[in-house]
Amino acid sequence: VIVDLVESVRLMRENEEEVIGRWIGFVEDVRLEVLPLHHGRLVKSLGDGLLLEFLQMREAIAACLHIQTLIAPYNAGKSADSVMQLRLGAHAADVVVDELDVYGSGVNLAARLAGLALPGTIVVSDEVRDAAVAGLDAEVEDLGECFLKHIELPVRAWKILPPHHEQAVPAATQDLFRASMAVLPFAAREGDLEASRLGDVFADDLTQALARHAECRVVSRLSTVALSGRNLPPRELFRLLGARYVVSGLVERSGPQFEVELVVRDVASGDTIWSARPRVDVKELLGSDERIAQVAARDIHASVLGLELRSFVDAPFTHMHGYSALLGCIAFMHKMARPQAERARQGLEHLIERFPRTAEPYAWQAKWLMLRVAQGWSDDAALDTRKAKAAIARSLEMCPHHSLALAIDGQIALFADGDRRRGIERLQLAIDHNPNESLAWLFYSNALVNEARVPDAIASLDRANSLAPLDPLKFLFDNLSSYALLVAGRHQEAHAAAVAAVRGNRQHLPTYPILIVAEMLVGHEDEARRHASEFLRMHPAMSTAAYAARHRGPRHFVDLSARLLRDAGLPA
């Protein structure tokens, strides 16, 4: 972490003694208050900056946010031109360490990121951002790929802001009478990689098994994985996940097998309502036999529903997937950057080769191919679309009721083939088979908007958002929310959602036309033109004619959007 005092030369020149005194006091606060709390080390202090080292990225993020709050007392009563402001940069890398300094290119990159930060802000690399859960550790804003001095290739950079600590995620209206649950990442003894891997697989299987019970609303595995390695109090879990019941597990060796200590807690009361210690055989579980998880899910389901019925007979219920490699593929493909997308492709092909009779990797391979088309990366969009259809057919051949595959099949029918009837039928089938598939609800809402069924679309969006409160695809949810709100005429809300989508992922090209239209409709024409220029730099072949030809929305909205995009600077 690099801490830099903004305009230090000017401040020293105007009042050297006074500024030095304030800086010394601030550095002492960092040394005595921040570093012990966040397990950091002061490598060296310069006259106008600090070099700090941390062993954990989350600790470094917390320390950066803490440091920015410490400068305020030293500015009390000062005029605007004598205020001390900080800019911070952070990067994660291997370095050479001695008692006096740390050395390596990573230190230089952290310094360049600090130089990219505006006064009072924090900018971190992609590696550091990946350690932060938005809404828990910090709020994050994607700055895109930035060119930094003396660094040949562009660097993906992120601005880090304090977390909002908003109220608990509300359940959609349809979910108020369904038990809300989340399966947290399972723990294992440090260094036991086999137990840790087993815990990941078991937690994923248990999530899927619970989601098959129509009476349960189950938070997506992609959201709960974000909480791995954290020991959060019950109320914080409820705030982040909106889940009334949480399942936790500890995996330990027991001879040739493993024991999994399973516990279900009511986060409202803190009470344990169910526990068990099943023995798990690695070969049985990794062979895609989910009998153990299904038995546990059945017992958990019965216990939770029994408690709900006893406690809330006449009242609405309170607010209430994926091997580890697959989770990594999903996260990387949605970074919308070519190197990460290529790694995701390789990972999915590896999973398909390794588990040729498993439906999940084929479904995500189809999603990857359609993302490639949507981002304009495909050399042959028609060929990639055919490949995606073949992957979906393979997935559904192995599991005809696979909800994710059905949802992606529906999305392809809608937006690649223009077949609205089949697209909606496939999405409805996905929801029927798994009411907890958040992407099915999200794509369904999009289809309903294009059918001018806006109220139903908004309700489906609420359902999708409630099922994925910490999903790494939040930018996609925000993007499609903005589109629905625009068609509904709720322009200010649409603009806010579009801004959130771009902040969440600046590389996701389909967000930009929605953002530009929203900005034009709320009177932010200069911002719309700036974003139109940015969009064209990333997608130079785009035109309003191409946009209108590909758009499947209501004709009046497509015509309006094309006109506004042309007014903002997109070529006809």
CA-angle at 122, arms to 117 and 128, nearest 5°: 115
Q: What percent of the chain has pLDDT over 70?
A: 90
3-state secondary structure 94-130: CCEECCCCEECHHHHHHHHHHHHCCCCCEEEEHHHHC
What are the CA-CA distances from residue 406 to residues 220, 379, 475 (Å)? 17, 26, 22
Quote the CA–CA distance of 358 and 347 in Å, as a whole number.
Answer: 14
pTM summary value? 0.70
The predicted structure's pLDDT at residue 283: 65
CA neighbor of 4 nearest in space, from 93, 92, 125, 110: 110
Of 229-243, 245-259, 475-489, the poorest mean pLDDT is in 229-243
CA neighbor of 454 nearest in space, from 557, 544, 548: 557
The predicted structure's pLDDT at residue 180: 83
More confident residue, 418 or 113: 113
- pLDDT-based confidence at residue 254 (cuts at 50, 70, 90): confident
Quote the CA–CA distance of 172 and 170 in Å, as a whole number.
Answer: 6
CA-angle at 80, arms to 79 and 85, nearest 5°: 115
CA-angle at 204, arms to 460 and 396, nearest 5°: 65
Strand partners, 87: 4
At residue 482, does pLDDT exceed 90?
yes
pLDDT in tens, 434-469: 888 888 999 999 999 988 898 999 999 888 888 876
The predicted structure's pLDDT at residue 215: 66
CB within 8 Å of 253: residues ≥ 6 apart: 192, 195, 259
pLDDT in tens, 532-570: 999 999 888 888 988 888 777 788 888 999 999 999 999
- pLDDT-based confidence at residue 314 (cuts at 50, 70, 90): very low
Q: What is the mean pLDDT of residues 499-526?
A: 92
Q: Is 176 exposed, middle or buried (0-12, 13-18, 19+ CB in 10 A)?
A: middle
Q: What percent of the chain has pLDDT over 90?
A: 42
The predicted structure's pLDDT at residue 522: 95
Of 98-107, 324-333, 421-430, the poorest mean pLDDT is in 324-333
Q: Are 170 and 242 in contact (CB under 8 A)?
A: yes
Q: Which two structure tokens, joined as six digits, stand for 94?
A: 């291997």
Quote the CA–CA distance of 414 and 290 in Å, as a whole number.
Answer: 33
Q: Are 274 and 307 in contact (CB under 8 A)?
A: no
At residue 169, does pLDDT exceed 60?
no
Give DSSP secondary structure letters for 9-77.
HHHHHHHHHHHHHHHHHHHHHIIIIIHHHHTEEEEEEETTEEEEEESSHHHHHHHHHHHHHHTGGGGTT
What are the CA-CA distances from residue 373 to residues 188, 343, 383 (Å)? 40, 17, 10
Per the listing, tokens 């599991």 go with 399
Quote the CA–CA distance of 109 and 49 in Å, as a whole number.
Answer: 15
Q: Which two structure tokens, joined as six digits, stand for 119?
A: 């006064």
At residue 55, does pLDDT exceed 60?
yes
